Amino acid sequence: MEVPSSSFEGDRVPLKLLLFIDRRPSLAKQVRQIRQYLKTLEGQFQFNLEVVDIGEQPYLAEHYKLVASPALIKVAPSPQHMLAGSDIVSQLERWWPKWQQEYLERQRVEVEEQGEGMPLALEHSDNPLSYSAELMKLSDEIFRLNQTKEELEAQLRFKDRIIAMMAHDLRNPLTAASIAIETLELGYAPDQKRNLSLSPELTGQLLKHAKTQVRAINRMITDILKTARGASIELQLFPKEMDLYGLCFEVAEAFQGRLQEKQQRLTTEIPQDLPSVYADSTQVRRVVTNLLDNAIKYTPRGGDVSLVALHRTTQKVQITVADTGPGIPSENSDKIFEESYRLQRDAKEEGYGLGLALCQKIIRAHYGQIWVDSVPGEGSSFYFTLPVYRA
C-alpha cells in the first residue's frame, strides 16, 4: 500500500480517496495517468490518497463492492462516490469541483457545530482504509465462527441420531440370538413335556448362529462407543477381500424370526460362484441389514421379500433387496436417501430417518452406486453395487 503525503489544515480530516489497482500490465498506463493527474491536484486542494492493491487485500474490494478496476472512491466526506472504467481521469475532472464543494460544506457545518458546543461529526476513523480492513476482518471472523458453530451443532445432532439408530438396530441380533438360545434351552429342558428332540447337527447350527449374533452385537456396541467419543465411524472403512455370498445368508438367517412372525416369504438368489468383493464387511452388513429390515417392515403380512446378487460386470457385483410393500412415489425416489428425510406415511413410524442416508454414504465410500426402482402399490427394489476384489 502506498500513502502519498499531503498537508492538513490543523487537525481537520481532509478529503479522503482510495485508489484500487491491480497488477495487470494492460492497465499500467491507465493507472499511471490517474496517479499523475491526482499529483497535479495536490497543489489545488488538500486530500489524502491511499493506494490499494486488490490482489493483496481482496476483502476491501468486496467491502466497497468494486465492479471494475482501477477504481477511485471518495470515502470522506460522505456520501461515498466511486469512479470506475477506462475514463476515470475525465470523470475526475467533472467530479472534482463537486467533491471540493462537499468538503468545504462539511467543514463549515463542523465549525458551526463546534461553535454551538456540539461534538464534531467525525468519520469512522482518520484512516478509512484501516477501519474498513478491521471491519472486514471482524465480519469474516464472525462469519467463520458462526459457520463452525453450525457445523459442530449439526455433527452433534447427527452423532446423537446415529447412536440412537444403532442402539435401535441392536434388537435384530439380540432377537436372533435369543431365539437360538431359547430353542437350545427347550432341547435340554428337564420337563419332558416341553423337551424338544434336537439333533447334534441342529444343536451345532443353533450354537453357531447364537455365536454369530453375539459377535454382531459386540461390533455394534463398539461402534456406539466410538460414535459417543466423537469418531465418525459410519465412514471409517477397512476394506479387504470379502465373501459376499456368506454375508448375505448370515443376514438373511438373522431375520428368520421376523419373517415367520409376519408370515412372509424370503427368496434368496445368491450364486455360489459369486466373486469376492473389496469392501468393509461390517459396513456392508449394515447396508444389507438396513435394506432387508425396511423390506420386511413395509411388506404386508404374507407378502414376499427377495435378496438377489449377481455378477453384473467384471468389475462390479450388484445386490438387490425387493419387497411387495406400498412402494415409493417417483418424486421421492431421490429424496429418501437424504439425511433425516422421511415419507409422510412414515412420520409416526419407529426410526430415525438415517438408515438410507448412511447406506448411501457407505456405498459411495466404496465407489459403488445405490438407487431404487419403485411402483406405488406394487413394491420397491433397492440396488447397490460393490467392486470385485482383484488380487
pLDDT for the residue 125 = 46
pLDDT for the residue 232 = 46
DSSP strand pairing (304-310 vs 265-269):
parallel
- Domain range summary for the chain, segments of one domain joined by +: 15-125, 237-391
For residue 336, give every residue at least 6 positions away whose Cβ sits within 8 Å of its Cβ, in sequence order, or none. 328, 343, 356, 372
**Phi/psi at 204 (5° precision):** -65, -40
Question: pLDDT category, 114, cuts 50, 70, 90?
Answer: low
Of 291 and 25, the structure prediction assigns the larger pLDDT to 291
pLDDT for the residue 7 = 37
Of 19 and 308, the structure prediction assigns the larger pLDDT to 308
- Is 50 exceeded by the pLDDT of residue 121? no
Mean residue pLDDT across the chain: 78
Question: pLDDT category, 309, cuts 50, 70, 90?
Answer: very high
CB count in 10 Å sphere of residue 174:
15
pLDDT for the residue 339 = 61
pLDDT for the residue 195 = 61
Taking only the tens place, the pLDDT of each residue in 44-82 is 677 888 888 887 777 777 777 777 778 888 887 778 888
User: Of the CATH numbers 3.30.590.10, 3.90.76.10, 3.30.565.10, 3.40.50.1100, which one belongs to the domain with range 237-391?
Assistant: 3.30.565.10
Question: pLDDT category, 380, cuts 50, 70, 90?
Answer: very high
pLDDT, mean of residues 148-170: 71
pLDDT for the residue 116 = 58
Of 291 and 3, the structure prediction assigns the larger pLDDT to 291
Of 270 and 59, the structure prediction assigns the larger pLDDT to 270
Question: pLDDT category, 2, cuts 50, 70, 90?
Answer: very low
Of 327 and 168, the structure prediction assigns the larger pLDDT to 327
Of 391 and 202, the structure prediction assigns the larger pLDDT to 202
User: How many helices (H) and strands (E) are present in the chain, helices listed first?
Assistant: 10, 11
Taking only the tens place, the pLDDT of each residue in 245-260 is 999 999 999 898 889 9
Question: pLDDT category, 345, cuts 50, 70, 90?
Answer: very low
Task: Give per-residue burial for 120-155: e unless 16+ CB within 10 Å, then b.
Answer: eeebeeeebbeebbeebeeeeeeeeeeeeeeeeeee
Model-level pTM? 0.45
pLDDT for the residue 321 = 96
Taking only the tens place, the pLDDT of each residue in 188-233 is 766 655 566 778 888 888 888 888 888 878 777 776 666 666 544 4
- Is 70 exceeded by the pLDDT of residue 155? no
Mutual angle of helices 128-169 and 281-298, in 10-degree steps: 70
Question: pLDDT category, 279, cuts 50, 70, 90?
Answer: very high
User: Of the CATH numbers 3.30.750.24, 3.40.30.10, 1.10.3720.10, 3.90.79.10, which one belongs to the domain with range 15-125?
Assistant: 3.40.30.10
- Is 80 exceeded by the pLDDT of residue 384? yes
pLDDT, mean of residues 323-334: 83
3-state helix, strand, coil in the chain (%, to 5): 50, 15, 30
